[in-house]
Amino acid sequence: MKYLDEINALIESLSKYQGVGPKTAERLAINTVTKWNNEEIDNFINALVDIKKLKRCKYCGNITKDDVCEICNSRSNKKIMVIEDVKDLFAIEKCEAYDGVYHILDGVINYQAGITPLDLNLEPLFSRAKEADEIIIATNPSIEGEITAQYIKEMLKDEKCNVTRIAYGLPVGGNLEYADSKTLEKALEGRRNIK
């Protein structure tokens, strides 16, 4: 027996989420139909309608209700942190240790997956770099993140701004004996004087 067209449409919509395969989408759809009451479904529908009003900041790519996000409106653009994804912005903001603005790439260079520099949000960064004192590259410590960081560094080599890379290595509370050699290597590279 086949699902009703309405359920198939819901399954298809849910499967568009990154990381949600057909079986998970099917489970979520059936759960929504069988376990949610009309008020919960209406709240979900309203949340989806409300996000249609959101847009991307014309400077950094953050999610905002206006053309320019609150961060770009309220902070100096002399320090720009380059990140892969909007989720990274929220993670960094939670630690309350950064006072500059951001630039969201919407991905990283991955030639095997067919993602080239042209597929990333890079051109606005190169324009913004002309006014910046520092560009902090905070892509993830993956092969693709490193390739992207090196590409950005190379593209900005003629700019007056300082191009830096966030340090990474051992997590707080981590034990040396459990760290892999690459993590230890990066922790040593990112060492600094004790203040």
Q: Read off the pLDDT of residues 13-67 as tens digits, 9 standing for 90 and up.
A: 999 999 999 999 999 999 999 999 999 999 999 999 999 999 999 999 999 999 9
Phi, psi of 136 (to 5 degrees): -100, 115
Residue 195 has pLDDT above 70, yes or no: no
Confidence of residue 132 (pLDDT cuts 50, 70, 90): very high
Residue 138 has pLDDT above 90, yes or no: yes
pLDDT at 194: 59
Strands 55-56, 63-64: pairing kind:
antiparallel
Please check whether residue 101 is in contact with residue 57, taking contact to mean a CB–CB distance below 8 angstroms.
no
Q: May I ask the CATH architecture of the domain 5-51?
A: Orthogonal Bundle (1.10)
Average pLDDT, the chain: 92
CATH 3.40.1360.10 matches 71-189? yes
pLDDT at 182: 78
* 125/60 Cα distance (integer angstroms): 8
**151 token code pair:** 């590409």
Q: Read off the pLDDT of residues 63-96 as tens digits, 9 standing for 90 and up.
A: 999 999 999 999 999 999 999 999 999 999 998 8
Between 195 and 34, residue with greater pLDDT: 34
Between 95 and 162, residue with greater pLDDT: 162
Domain ranges of the chain: 5-51, 71-189
